[in-house]
Amino acid sequence: MSCRGSPEVLGNITAQRRGSWVVVTASGELDLATVPALRSASNQALRLGDDQPRIAVNLTSVELIDSTCLGLLIGLRRKVKQRDGQLVVLTNERIDQILDATDTSSLFERSDTLPPFNDG
């Protein structure tokens, strides 16, 4: 487990505490090969988060996300909501198209920028 503020690198995925948020950053392709790293980063984000976790998932450098990884993000959303937390997903045009095509875009609060980290 990483220290607060120090990223844990899991392949092309990192999880890092930044102020009141935990940021999960991914790049490249999120597919069956990256499921273990994405699952580990999601679990790390929940561990680093407070009782009401605030998690930002940065997918702006992701080229592809398959249904397995999309399912993991939906599961992360459910876990965050169960703890009355907040999940924000940063996307790019390609990821927006995938979310729209899979009819899952309405499940996620989306943003173009990372949230401010100093807010409480």
User: Which domain CATH number covers 90?
Assistant: 3.30.750.24
**Number of helices (H), then strands (E), in the chain:** 3, 6
List of the chain residues with pLDDT < 50: 1-4, 6, 9
Residue 64 resides in a domain? yes
Domain that holds residue 20: 8-111
Which pLDDT does position 4 carry in this prediction?
A: 46
Residue 112's pLDDT is 83
Residue 115 is predicted with a pLDDT of 79
Q: Do residues 15 and 8 touch, judged by C-beta distance below 8 A? A: yes
- 3-state DSSP call for residue 47? helix
82 assigned to some structural domain: yes
pLDDT of residue 69: 95
3 within a domain of the structure (yes/no) = no
Residue 66 within any structural domain of the chain: yes
Q: What's the farthest any 2 CA atoms get from each other in the chain? A: 38
| pLDDT the model gives residue 56 | 96
What is the predicted pLDDT for the residue at 114?
83
31 and 66 Cβ atoms separated by less than 8 Å: yes
- Looking at residue 11, what is its pLDDT? 58
Is residue 28 a part of any domain in this protein? yes
Evaluate whether residue 120 is within a structural domain: no
Domain count within the chain: 1
Assign residue 61 a region (left: φ > 0; alpha: ψ between -120 and 50; beta: otherwise).
alpha
